[in-house]
């Protein structure tokens, strides 16, 4: 007479059955497709254990990026072997949906630091990115988000926080200039998306202040941004109110090839 399974054995069998399904990559992809690739769900899943974290790193972060920003990702991958992207896919996913907040830097001192947070919607545009490229670097391709607006305590302006990514940064004119001019890394600031060291574009004298300020709706002297070794950009600015005419003039061109990413949360 065979033994009747104990409650613990039943639990173990159920757990094994669950894990054999949840670690199946195709099943995971279908699950996240049904969840519309919500980044919060993927963050929670990747934090469960090392196996799910490995699957997320190998597959799921890339799939999220491809599904939520298809045109921008297709452009970023253009010409890259094996679809490998500098810095990995998790930082790109974070960059798509996470405003990094801001702290004081050498060239920009907000009235108070701002914590990072998920955003409900972001638009990334290479038309906006062109406004942030110095003349000597105009051949580069940079995707830039609209600024995330935050009330600035004690100021008449709002604080804008923006982020972006270069295509093919390792071969860009921007990186070539930074290396040839031997521009130093910032000592106290790291990329909020991949953790690598950053250059201050203000210190490097690579900020086209008029075009960048106009694109953001900011004061010429009220902006600062950084670029890391993997080509991730983050920055802050002081925003001024725009008239309706100015907003209409700021529409994106038809060849923008950008993406609007929407978070369901």
Chain centre distance of CA 188: 20
pLDDT > 50? residue 16? no
What number is the average pLDDT over the span 40-46? 92
Count of CB atoms situated within 10 Å of the CB of 189:
17
pLDDT > 60? residue 243? no
Angle between helices 25-34 and 7-22 (to 10 degrees): 80
Reported as a single tens digit per residue, the pLDDT across 49-65 is: 898 899 999 999 999 99
Q: Which two tokens stand for residue 129?
A: 């990115």
Q: Return the percentage of the chain with pLDDT > 90, whole number.
A: 52
Output the pLDDT for position 85.
Answer: 87
Count of CB atoms situated within 10 Å of the CB of 238:
21
pLDDT bucket at 264, cuts 50 / 70 / 90: very low
pLDDT > 80? residue 265? no
Q: How far apart are CA 8 and CA 256, in angstroms?
A: 58
Burial code (b: 16+ CB inside 10 Å, e: under 16) for 120-157 equals eebbbbbbbbbbbbbeebeebbbbbbbbbebebeeeeb
Reported as a single tens digit per residue, the pLDDT across 153-204 is: 666 678 889 999 999 999 999 999 999 999 999 999 999 999 999 999 989 9
What number is the average pLDDT over the span 91-114? 88
Q: Which two tokens stand for residue 141?
A: 């391709």
148 strand-pairing partners: 161
pLDDT bucket at 122, cuts 50 / 70 / 90: confident
Mean pLDDT of the chain: 82
Q: Looking at per-residue confidence, does 257 or 79 come out higher?
A: 79
What number is the average pLDDT over the span 73-82? 80
Count of CB atoms situated within 10 Å of the CB of 212:
23
Q: Which two tokens stand for residue 142?
A: 């940079």
């Amino acid at each position: 007479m065979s033994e009747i399974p104990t409650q613990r054995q039943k639990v173990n069998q159920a757990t094994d059955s669950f894990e054999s399904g949840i670690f199946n990559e195709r099943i995971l992809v279908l699950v996240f497709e049904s969840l519309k690739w919500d980044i919060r769900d993927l963050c929670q899943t990747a934090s469960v254990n090392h196996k799910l974290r490995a699957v997320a790193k190998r597959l799921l972060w890339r799939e999220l990026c491809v599904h939520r920003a298809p045109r921008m990702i297709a452009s970023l991958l253009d010409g890259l072997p094996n679809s490998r992207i500098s810095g990995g896919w998790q930082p790109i996913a974070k960059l798509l949906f996470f405003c990094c907040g801001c702290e004081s830097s050498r060239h920009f001192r907000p009235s108070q630091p701002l914590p990072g947070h998920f955003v409900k919607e972001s638009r990334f545009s290479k038309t906006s990115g062109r406004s942030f490229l110095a003349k000597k670097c105009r051949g580069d391709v940079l995707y830039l988000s609209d600024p995330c607006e935050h009330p600035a305590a004690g100021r008449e302006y709002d604080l804008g926080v923006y982020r972006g990514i270069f295509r093919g940064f390792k071969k860009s004119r921007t990186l070539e200039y930074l290396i040839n001019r031997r521009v130093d890394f910032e000592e106290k600031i790291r990329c909020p998306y991949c953790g690598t060291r950053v250059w201050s574009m203000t210190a490097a004298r690579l900020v086209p202040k008029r075009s960048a300020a106009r694109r953001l709706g900011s004061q010429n002297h009220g902006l600062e941004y950084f670029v890391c070794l993997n080509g991730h950009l983050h920055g802050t600015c002081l925003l001024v109110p725009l008239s309706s005419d100015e907003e209409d003039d700021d529409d994106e061109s038809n060849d923008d090839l950008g993406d609007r990413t929407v978070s369901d949360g």
